[in-house]
Structure formats: C-alpha cells, structure tokens
C-alpha cells in the first residue's frame, strides 16, 4: 500500500511538472500568437516606464528583469528610487536603450539571452491599423528567434489595456494574479461607462488639459488620442481636439479663454527637481507642495480668469496615468470633476489605495491628484 501511494505521488508529481513545463501561448494586441516554452524569467522591457505595470502582474518583477531602457531612471526619478530601495538589483539591470526606438540596441538585448522582449506599440513604430510587418524591430527580433509581445496603454488605451495586461501576465506565468487585476480594472471602468452613456455630446462640459504644465510655454494640450479618449470616456469634451489634429499641440490663451472650460487639469510627472517650474506631483510629493506648484502655474500663465479656476474646478494630476492601466484613476477623478452629483460615490483616491494594498509591492506613495479652492 505504501509503495502504491509512493508510485501514485511520483506519477502525479511528474504530471504536474509536465503541465508546468508546457509551452505558453500568448496573444498580443496585434493578434500575434506568440509561444514561449515556459514562463519568461529573463524579460527585456523596451520602455522601462512600464516596470510598474510588470509589478501589477508579477509579485517579484525585478527578479525576472534582464534589461530595460533608461527612461524610468531618468524621467521618473522618484518612482525609480522607491523601486530601487525595494529592489536593489535594479541598479545593475542592463540598459539597452534610451527612451526612443532609434536608440534600442538589438545586439545588447540579444547578449542578455532574453526569453521575452516586451515592446510597446509606440516603441515598435506601430500606429492604429498597422501590423507587425510594419515594424522592422519586431521583424529583426523574430528573425533572431526571440519571443516578442507588443503591449499598448497609449495609442489606443480603451481597446488595448486589457489584452495587453493578459498577454503580459500570461507570458510571465501569472495568469491568476493578472486576471484578478483585470477584473478590478473592468469593474471600475464599467462603473463610469454606464453612468455617462446617456449624456448627449452637446451636454458634455468643456475640459482644458494643460499637459506638462509649467515645463513648457503655455499651453500644450492633447488633441486626438490618449487623453482625448479618456476625457470622452469620463463624459467630458476636450477643447484641444477641436483644433489639434495630432496627439498634442499648443493652444493660445485667447482660444482657451473663448471656450470657457468648466474643468482645468494640469499634468506633470514629478521629476525629483523641486526647483523646476513644472507641476510637482507623484511619488514623494505632499498635497501642499502639489497645490503650491499648481497655483504658481495658473498665475504664471494668466489663467486665473478661467471659469474652472474661479469656480474651484481646477486640478493637478500625474501625467503618467496616460500610459498605464491606472488611467482608470484619472478617468474616475475627471468624472467627479465633471459631474460631482452623478459620481458622488466614486472615489479615485480609494481606488488608488486599493491598488496599493492589493496589487503593488511598492505602493504609489505621494500625491497623484490635487484640487484648488475657488479664486476670490
């Protein structure tokens, strides 16, 4: 009997090992079927800004990271330092690119013996409606026999966020954890979509998003694409989209003032340089510091007379929500700013708190959205 039980246990163990070693098939946002022999354990991130996304779907993201670009360290300094404290090995991760596709070194990436390269649609040079054949980078990696998946939270975030998360989570062997977050994401996004479905287009309040506020001349604003999609999703109308036919551009003061925006939103990333004129927001920033910088931006750019500012509907928010599945926090915040009665029970800060507690090993600790009181 004992011998039989030992044989049975050995057989079951062997079957489990075979199952865990079975190839993984992943479908990326381009519809490509990508096969990995096992969960990826040596990942190259072409855009390191998505390391926190990897942290959403994997409990130990630094342990599977073989290479990345330098943009997380250089453009998101405060976030990088927080992750570095939790994962000291990040200091020795090989850099294979700066923040542009032209700087990506395939030779350096291949030298790291990756079992997965994660490209974004932007980094791969793929726009809406394009395929993998339009990306020389994908073609070269495919030719080298390296599994490649393409993810996207920026070009078409409303359509590509869920398939991007599922592809990434499956590829690194974390399907259950990933689907838990995807369910969470969908619940929050669906709650907004249901409530704005009956708002006619001509009744959507005008919104002025001041992108990278204070760090450039007034006033950069989104046109078509990412932020415009999020504003529409939240039930607003982006005044930039009426005149800007690209992803971003500049609006002059006369135009902004003539549109009487009811909501003003300044964005910034928080670079760690507290002497800069940009919006101080994000990891390690206090609400008081964020509000002070927001007031300075409004005054410097002569925006005090805007209805949104006079009526206390002016806000600051973390710009990097625009390239992350956590854009749901931006959308929840904007929905409340647009229609506070309709969305009185929606709390974006509570959503962020739950993300920190349930999904992130390195919490987003700081100020990621801030409000100003009405001007006298």
Query: Does the structure show a pLDDT above 70 at 224?
Result: yes
Q: Which of 146, 225, 157 is nearest to 185 (CA)?
A: 157
17 vs 101, higher pLDDT: 101
Domains detected in the chain: 24-173 (3.40.50.1980), 198-371 (3.40.50.1980)
Interval 24-67: pLDDT, tens = 999 999 999 999 999 999 999 999 999 999 999 999 999 999 99
Interval 281-301: pLDDT, tens = 999 999 999 999 999 999 999
Find out whether the peptide bond into 363 is cis, omega within 30 degrees of 0.
no
CA dist 219 and 66 (Å) reads 39
Lowest mean pLDDT among 73-87, 268-282, 316-330: 268-282
Share of the chain above pLDDT 90, in %: 79
**How many residues appear in the chain?**
376
pLDDT band at 276 (very low <50, low <70, confident <90, very high): low
Once rounded to an integer, what is the mean pLDDT over residues 187-211? 94
pLDDT band at 277 (very low <50, low <70, confident <90, very high): confident
pLDDT score for 11: 52
Query: Does the structure show a pLDDT above 90 at 202?
Result: no
Tokens coding 186: 């969908």
Interval 124-181: pLDDT, tens = 888 877 888 889 999 999 999 999 999 999 989 999 999 999 999 999 999 999 999 9
CA dist 294 and 166 (Å) reads 37
Tokens 């596709």 — which residue? Answer: 101
Tokens 């989209």 — which residue? Answer: 241
Burial 264-302, CB ≥16 within 10 A → b, else e: bbbbbbbbbeeeeebbbbbbbbeeebbbebbbbbbeebe
Q: What is the pTM of this model?
A: 0.90
CA dist 302 and 305 (Å) reads 8
Interval 108-126: pLDDT, tens = 999 999 999 999 988 888 8
**Distance in Å from the first CA to the final CA of the chain:** 86
pLDDT band at 15 (very low <50, low <70, confident <90, very high): very low
pLDDT score for 21: 60
Tokens coding 25: 């098939």
Mean pLDDT of the chain: 91
């Amino acid at each position: 009997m004992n011998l039989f039980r030992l044989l049975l246990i050995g057989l079951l163990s062997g079957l489990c090992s075979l199952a865990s070693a079975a190839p993984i098939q992943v479908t990326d946002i381009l519809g490509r079927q990508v096969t990995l022999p096992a969960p990826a354990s040596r990942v190259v991130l072409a855009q390191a800004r998505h390391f926190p996304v990897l942290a959403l779907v994997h409990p130990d993201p630094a342990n599977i990271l073989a290479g990345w670009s330098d943009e997380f360290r250089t453009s998101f300094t405060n976030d990088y330092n927080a992750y570095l404290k939790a994962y000291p090995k990040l200091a020795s991760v090989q850099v294979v690119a700066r923040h542009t596709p032209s700087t990506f070194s395939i030779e350096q990436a291949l030298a790291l013996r990756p079992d997965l390269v994660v490209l974004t649609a932007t980094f791969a040079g793929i726009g809406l409606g394009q395929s993998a054949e339009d990306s020389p980078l994908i073609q070269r990696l495919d030719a080298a026999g390296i599994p490649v998946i393409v993810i996207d939270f920026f070009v078409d975030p409303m359509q590509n966020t869920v398939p991007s998360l599922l592809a990434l989570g499956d590829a690194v062997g974390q399907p259950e954890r990933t689907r838990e977050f995807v369910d969470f994401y969908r619940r929050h996004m669906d709650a907004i979509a249901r409530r704005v479905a009956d708002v006619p287009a001509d009744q959507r309040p005008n919104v002025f998003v001041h992108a990278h506020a204070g760090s450039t001349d007034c006033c950069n604003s989104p046109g078509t694409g990412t932020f415009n999609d999020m504003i529409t999703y939240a039930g607003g109308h982006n005044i930039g989209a009426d005149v800007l036919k690209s992803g971003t551009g500049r609006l002059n003061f006369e135009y902004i003032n003539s549109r009487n925006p009811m909501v003003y939103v300044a964005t910034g990333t928080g670079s760690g340089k507290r002497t800069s004129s940009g919006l101080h927001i994000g990891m390690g920033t206090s609400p008081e510091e964020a509000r002070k910088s927001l007031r300075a931006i409004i005054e410097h750019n002569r925006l005090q007379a805007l209805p949104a500012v006079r009526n206390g509907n002016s806000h600051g928010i973390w710009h990097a929500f625009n390239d992350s599945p956590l854009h749901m926090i931006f959308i929840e915040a904007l929905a409340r700013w647009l229609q506070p009665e309709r969305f009185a029970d929606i709390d974006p800060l509570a959503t962020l708190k739950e993300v920190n507690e349930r999904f992130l090993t390195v919490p987003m600790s700081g100020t990621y959205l801030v409000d100003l009181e009405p001007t006298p």
